[in-house]
Amino acid sequence: MTAPYRFHAAEISYFSAKVRPALRAKGIHYLEVIPDYRGVILPRTGYSFIPIVITPEDETWQDTSTILDRLEAREPTPALYPTTPVQRTIAYLLELYADEFMLLPAMHYRWSFPESIAKARADFAAMSPEPAAATKFATRMQGTLPFLGITPATIPAIEAHLRDLLDAMSAHFAVHPYLLGGRMSLADCALMGPLYAHLYLDAVPGRLLRETAPAVGNWIERMNRPDPDAQAAATWLADDALAPTLEPILRLVGSDAVPLILAGVAAFEEWADGQPADLVEPPRGVGGHTTSLRGIPMDRFTSSYTSWMVQRPLDAYRALDDAGRAAVDRAVAGTGCEALFAFTPRHRVEKRGFTLALAGR
Ligand SMILES: N[C@@H](CCC(=O)N[C@@H](CS)C(=O)NCC(=O)O)C(=O)O
């Protein structure tokens, strides 16, 4: 038997929750271990992010999008990435939404309510041999709320978005077990980050989910315990179709998330325009910008990483032939998601090792 993959991850970690169902659905021989920051993660990546995956050949994978891309290439069955134009592009779009926008309700519901805060702090402390370090980390996470745009003024819009999403997902899961039909995809995996690791496990939103959206709870449990044989035998909807019940979800993405994400990318591009030609590695945060959610102004820090994430659905869309792009255009018509596919970035961001760099420099 070959050595197992080693997955440095945590149950209450957003991005760990995105990768875990993929490892399980593919029936991969892996061990989930408590993150070893000092001994493994920092020396191998230069960063303190989880999750990371160490392969049987001792390669280090960091960043869940990269991890899932590589896992799909090495362990293709059951596939998580559709190969048909509409389903493939929508899977990347929902990954972008889950990773970038859903941080708002996930971080709000974890860090705005005393009951949630107390549980999250205790959960962090339990994960760490150094309770003082866990407390420091929790305080730092709590402190990021205003930088993400989570303030008393914007909270009602963030909460309204989540309620609408839970309603739309409940209606969808009443008909289909997964977002694209009969089996899980990249889109389901990505949405497990906010919906499982934060909203299901945290005290206050955990009650909201269980009381108002049991079908979402059932999807979460299914996602975390997939049967690889059943996944391999199941299919996404035939003929590259999207379920009619997915459309309300795409409308929420298009009306609330796409404008907010594009405002962040526009601010990054403006920053990048003004940088000297020898500036290669953008910092993670490059100042701030103002956007809005449901008509409420929102100030946020400008993240270089958002530009990298936006490229994923855009690259998938641009790789299609004319007929494929036309099919995607028809699928998103009227949802607001058209604005994303119409966007052409001036700056391309790429990964060099584990670090982001401005392409061509
Ligand atoms: N884009 C990265 C994000 C990873 C990430 O932000 N992980 C969180 C835990 S869910 C973390 O380690 N945060 C530490 C920090 O922000 O210092 C990915 O997809 O893996």
Length in residues, the chain? 361
**CA distance linking residue 84 with residue 301, whole number of Å:** 35
| Nearest-CA residue for atom 2 of ligand 1 | 63
**CA distance linking residue 216 with residue 219, whole number of Å:** 5
DSSP string, 60-95: EEESHHHHHHHHHHHS-SS-SS--SHHHHHHHHHHH
Q: What is the pLDDT of residues 224-269, one digit of tens each?
A: 999 999 999 999 999 999 999 999 999 999 999 999 999 999 999 9
Q: Which atom of ligand 1 is nearest to the CA of 193?
A: 10
**CA distance linking residue 315 with residue 319, whole number of Å:** 6
Give the distance (Å) from ligand 1 centre to CA of residue 14.
8
Give the distance (Å) from ligand 1 centre to CA of residue 50.
5
Q: Which atom of ligand 1 is nearest to the CA of 63?
A: 20
Among the listed residues 309, 311, 292, the one whose alpha carbon sits nearest the alpha carbon of residue 300:
292
Q: What is the per-residue pLDDT for 256? A: 99
| Nearest-CA residue for atom 13 of ligand 1 | 49
Q: What is the per-residue pLDDT for 252? A: 99
Phi (first) and psi of residue 128, to 5 degrees? -120, 135
| Nearest-CA residue for atom 15 of ligand 1 | 49
Give the distance (Å) from ligand 1 centre to CA of residue 339.
27
Interstrand relation of 52-54 and 60-62 (parallel, antiparallel or unpaired): antiparallel
Mean pLDDT of the chain: 97
**CA distance linking residue 8 with residue 37, whole number of Å:** 9
> Quick one: CA dihedral 127, 132, 133, 137, positive or negative?
positive
Residue among 8, 50, 110 to mutate when testing ligand 1 (max atoms within 8 A of CB) = 50
Exposed/middle/buried for 244, CB within 10 Å: 0-12, 13-18, 19+?
Answer: exposed
Rg (CA), the chain: 20
Q: Is the pLDDT of residue 99 over 90?
A: yes
Residue type, 100: E
| Nearest-CA residue for atom 1 of ligand 1 | 63
133 against 244, higher pLDDT: 244
Tell me the average pLDDT across 16-42.
97
DSSP string, 240-281: G---GGGHHHHHHIIIIIHHHHHHHHHHHHHHHHTS-TT--S
Give the distance (Å) from ligand 1 centre to CA of residue 130.
19
Please give all residues whose beta carbon lies within 6 A of any atom in ligand 1, as ranges: 13-15, 48-50, 63-65
Tell me the average pLDDT across 157-175.
98
| Residue 352 host element (H or E) | strand 349-352
Q: What is the per-residue pLDDT for 129? A: 83
Lookup: tokens for 95: 């990954």
Helix ranges (H only) for the chain are 14-25, 42-45, 64-74, 85-96, 103-111, 114-127, 131-142, 145-148, 155-173, 186-192, 203-212, 214-224, 228-233, 247-252, 258-273, 304-318, 322-332, 338-341
Task: Look at phi and psi of residue 287 and say left if phi exceeds 0, alpha if psi is from -120 to 50, else beta.
Answer: left
The least confident of 102-106, 126-130, 197-201, 247-251 is 126-130
| Nearest-CA residue for atom 11 of ligand 1 | 49
Q: Which atom of ligand 1 is nearest to the CA of 99?
A: 19
Q: Is the pLDDT of residue 25 over 90?
A: yes
Give the distance (Å) from ligand 1 centre to CA of residue 304.
14
Axis-axis angle for helices 304-318, 258-273 (nearest 10): 110
Give the distance (Å) from ligand 1 centre to CA of residue 171.
31
Q: What is the pLDDT of residues 280-297, one digit of tens each?
A: 999 999 999 999 999 999
Give the distance (Å) from ligand 1 centre to CA of residue 22.
18
Cis peptide before 194 (omega within 30 of 0): no
Phi (first) and psi of residue 10, to 5 degrees? -140, 150
Q: Is the pLDDT of residue 1 over 80?
A: no
Residue among 11, 49, 101 to mutate when testing ligand 1 (max atoms within 8 A of CB) = 49
- Neighbour tally for 129: CB within 10 Å: 7
Q: What is the per-residue pLDDT for 83? A: 98
DSSP code for 320: S
Q: What is the per-residue pLDDT for 2? A: 85
Q: What is the pLDDT of residues 286-344, one digit of tens each?
A: 999 999 999 999 999 999 999 999 999 999 999 999 999 999 999 999 999 999 999 99
Q: Is the pLDDT of residue 130 over 90?
A: no
Residue 131 banded pLDDT, cuts 50, 70, 90? confident
Q: What is the per-residue pLDDT for 11? A: 97
Q: Which atom of ligand 1 is nearest to the CA of 141?
A: 16
Residue among 11, 14, 15, 44 to mutate when testing ligand 1 (max atoms within 8 A of CB) = 15
Q: What is the per-residue pLDDT for 216? A: 98
Q: What is the per-residue pLDDT for 30? A: 98
Q: What is the per-residue pLDDT for 68? A: 99
The least confident of 90-99, 128-137, 166-175, 208-217 is 128-137
Give the distance (Å) from ligand 1 centre to CA of residue 15.
6
Give the distance (Å) from ligand 1 centre to CA of residue 142.
14
Give the distance (Å) from ligand 1 centre to CA of residue 327.
34
Q: Which atom of ligand 1 is nearest to the CA of 47?
A: 17
